[in-house]
């Protein structure tokens, strides 16, 4: 996957999800099948990727230098 195409989202709801923190940025992994059902796959606080309702997140644009910092921190 091209690192420049990595998508990030901001968590705005974590109802019933202990592994999500509101106002935290999460990396999204592509999952076309999940998207058809309005879910997205994110790397959560457990360090693993899981499906969550897309409505729990807002897409955000990240500057290139910040994107690199986020990807290196993971």
**According to the 3-state scheme, what is the secondary structure of 29-63?**
ECCHHHHHCCEEEEECCCCCEEEEEHHHEEEECCC
Closest CA relative to residue 56, chosen from 74, 43, 38, 70 = 38
For residue 18, is it within any domain?
yes
For residue 1, is it within any domain?
no
For residue 44, is it within any domain?
yes
Residue 4: band (very low, low, confident or very high) from pLDDT cuts 50, 70, 90: low
How many domains is the chain partitioned into structurally? Answer: 1
CATH code of the domain covering residue 44: 2.30.30.40
Over the stretch 17-73, which tens digit does the pLDDT of each residue have? 999 999 999 999 999 999 999 999 999 999 999 999 999 999 999 888 888 888 777
For residue 72, is it within any domain?
no
Query: Structural domain of residue 25, as residue ranges?
Result: 6-63
In angstroms, the CA 11 to CA 20 distance is 7
């Amino acid at each position: 996957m091209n690192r420049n195409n990595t998508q990030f989202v901001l968590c705005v709801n974590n109802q019933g999800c202990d592994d999500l923190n509101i106002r935290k940025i999460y990396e999204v992994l592509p999952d076309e099948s999940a998207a058809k059902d309005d879910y997205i796959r994110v790397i959560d606080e457990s360090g693993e990727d899981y499906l969550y309702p897309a409505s729990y997140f807002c897409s955000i644009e990240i500057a290139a230098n910040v994107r690199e910092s986020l990807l290196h921190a993971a």
